[in-house]
Structure 1
Amino acid sequence: MLFRAFAKINLGLKVLNKRADGFHNIETFFQQIDLHDDIAIEPTSDGRIHLTCSDKDCPTDAGNLAFRAAAMLKKYLNAPSLGCRIHIEKRIPMGGGLGGGSSDAATTILALNTLWGASLPPTQITELAAGLGSDVAFFTIGGLALGTGRGEKLLPIDDKISYTGILVYPGIHISTPWAYKNLNLSLTNSDKIGKFIDFIRELGRFDQWQSRLPNDLEAPVFRVHRSLQNIVAELYSAGAFYARMSGSGSSLYGLFDTPGKAEAAQSLLKNRRQAKLFIPIYR
């Protein structure tokens, strides 16, 4: 069977502090978008997990989150005879801050929960997914959600906010651990700590997004990659009401209140060949 694993963008990302376990407490709005990988999954009874991928740089063993997701669910179900064949057709850029690997993993868990006849409830699926990575839990619920903790504590938001986005992937791989390591927490505007949840009621006020939804990881990344900061400025110049780096980068996006404005802006960008239109998707 064929399944779609959708990407996400981070609408702002506030880094609050570093935890004893080495992770950071954050606040962010996760937003699922219509860019997606295609995943073909076939259940087998040979007890093995076979994974292939269209991208030669994509691991096909335990280095792949989707592989680990299948192995984790198999172990949790205590069913040694269960197996599967997984093929991932990659469209979400790897290392771009769009959650492609995490989405592949969540989609694999959701699919195998049905294909293997496990029928675990959604809350249990999300709890299992959180053990694989900070973003994986979000992709089991999708849509729009506030993420706190290390990103695994989720508050689903039912509002359906309409806009069209431009996504630019400049082809630079940013290591998430590097971005956090090089973040100066003393400069992350502590007065805004804990404010994302207060902004939920005002998400329809596009004029407030730029000031209310910062991405703290832009500072260390833009210091090294000034070209990324220039792309954000270019998106604003083209008429975006909000433009940010997604997660730890290097993907950047600009949001426009009408499809026509987004299409017009896309034609103006220097990186227009790397720019793709997208829309948010909701549960």
Structure 2
Amino acid sequence: MSHPPHAVHVRAPGKINIALRVGSPRPDGYHPLATVFQAVSLYEDVVAEPAPDISVTVTGRHAAQVPTDRSNLAWRAAKLLADATGTDTGVRLHVTKGVPTAGGMGGGSADAAATLLACDLLWGTGLAREELGELAAELGADVPFALTGHTAVGVGRGDVLTPALARGRFAWVLALSDRGLSTPSVFRAWDALHPDPVPSPVLDPDLMSALVAADPRTLARHLVNDLQQAALELRPDLGDVLEVMAGTPALGTIVSGSGPTVAALASGPGDAARIAEAVTAAEVASEVLVVTGPVQGARLLEHVRGDDD
């Protein structure tokens, strides 16, 4: 006889926006986006255990900055899945953060994606990945990508995804900040910088060719983030990070998403280590990490069942 799992452990990745183009707000208030996401080897871990109601605890990188009440994206993901499937049991969620909080790398979105998958397995609700993806889109524009991972093109709010062919492995150096940036604040700053209408964005086809060619030097020429100037308006100190990276073997640099994480593309592991050493020595970041991408999306790590299972 099969017993319900005692705990489910799911891991989901953070992301870098290799390209992020932005248009003026639509009538619903959302900015149309055209973006290329790449999932990288920096992760959120969610362990889900049966409980009478929904609760969240958080440890790990920047954990003290993460709310654990009903505003938490993992809590909201569990509640959404329960409501959508008629599940009346709860879950105890423990999040171990590896992705910086409010860092422009989709850490909260990764929590939500991991929670959807973990609770689906814990509760035996049996939703297909496509159905989980539809729920993910209700939680935020980056959540569907955290489910799928790898490299993908996102349009609309960034939640309408098309897989992108990306050969090879890319090495990135991340300069983290211990102070996050509010995504709505960055978009408001973008609006202030663009008083005239900006048309719906499109992506450069040469960028897609660079991903297929697995050529970091070509890819570096196509790194673009329309939110970067807005992030710099709010956090001028990010200019110091970009300046230091410009004096290293970095092939290209970019603020990830709405920031403040800054990413440098390296030709390989050796140059990545040299870039990381230079940024660390300059003391312009609270933490410096070397990651690779693309990596897969939310996945089961452990499924603990009863002894007599």
Residue in structure 1 matched with residue 3 of structure 2 by the alignment:
none
Residue in structure 2 matched with residue 106 of structure 1 by the alignment:
113
Residue in structure 1 matched with residue 77 of structure 2 by the alignment:
69
Query: Contact 2:177/2:286 (CA < 8 Å) preserved in 1?
Result: no
For 1:204-215, what aligned pairs fall within 5 Å after superposition?
Answer: 204-215=214-225
The reply to whether residue 17 of structure 1 matches residue 30 of structure 2 is no
1:186, 1:205 → 2: CA distance? Answer: 37
Of the structure 1 ranges 208-217 and 140-149, higher mean CA displacement relative to structure 2 is found in 208-217
Flag the 1:213–1:253 CA change in 2: closer, same or farther, 3 A.
closer
TM-score normalised by the chain length of structure 2? 0.84
**CA drift at 1:260:** 0.5
Question: Which of 44, 50, 59 in structure 1 is aligned with 2:55?
Answer: 50
Unaligned runs of 5+ in 1: none
Query: Contact 2:85/2:125 (CA < 8 Å) preserved in 1?
Result: yes
TM-score normalised by the chain length of structure 1? 0.91
Flag the 1:9–1:188 CA change in 2: closer, same or farther, 3 A.
farther
Task: State the one-letter code of the partner of 2:154.
Answer: G
**CA drift at 1:103:** 0.4
Question: Which of 107, 125, 128 in structure 1 is aligned with 2:132?
Answer: 125
**CA drift at 1:197:** 5.1
CA RMSD of aligned residues (A): 2.1
The reply to whether residue 249 of structure 1 matches residue 259 of structure 2 is yes
Query: Contact 2:266/2:272 (CA < 8 Å) preserved in 1?
Result: yes
Task: State the one-letter code of the partner of 2:202.
Answer: G
**CA drift at 1:114:** 1.5
Q: Give the number of the structure with larger relative contact order, counting CA–CA contacts within 8 Å between residues 6 or more apart.
A: 2
The reply to whether residue 275 of structure 1 matches residue 292 of structure 2 is no
Of the structure 1 ranges 195-204 and 99-108, higher mean CA displacement relative to structure 2 is found in 195-204
1:22, 1:273 → 2: CA distance? Answer: 34
Residue in structure 1 matched with residue 188 of structure 2 by the alignment:
181
**CA drift at 1:143:** 1.0
Question: Which of 128, 135, 144 in structure 2 is aligned with 1:137?
Answer: 144
1:276, 1:173 → 2: CA distance? Answer: 17
1:99, 1:155 → 2: CA distance? Answer: 18
Query: Contact 2:32/2:201 (CA < 8 Å) preserved in 1?
Result: no
**CA drift at 1:207:** 3.7
Instruction: Please give the per-residue CA displacement for 1:160-188, whole angstroms capped at 9, x wherever unaligned.
Output: 33221111112232111111111123689
Residue in structure 1 matched with residue 12 of structure 2 by the alignment:
5
Of the structure 1 ranges 256-265 and 2-11, higher mean CA displacement relative to structure 2 is found in 2-11
Of the structure 1 ranges 82-91 and 252-261, higher mean CA displacement relative to structure 2 is found in 82-91
1:187, 1:256 → 2: CA distance? Answer: 36
Unaligned runs of 5+ in 2: 1-7, 297-309
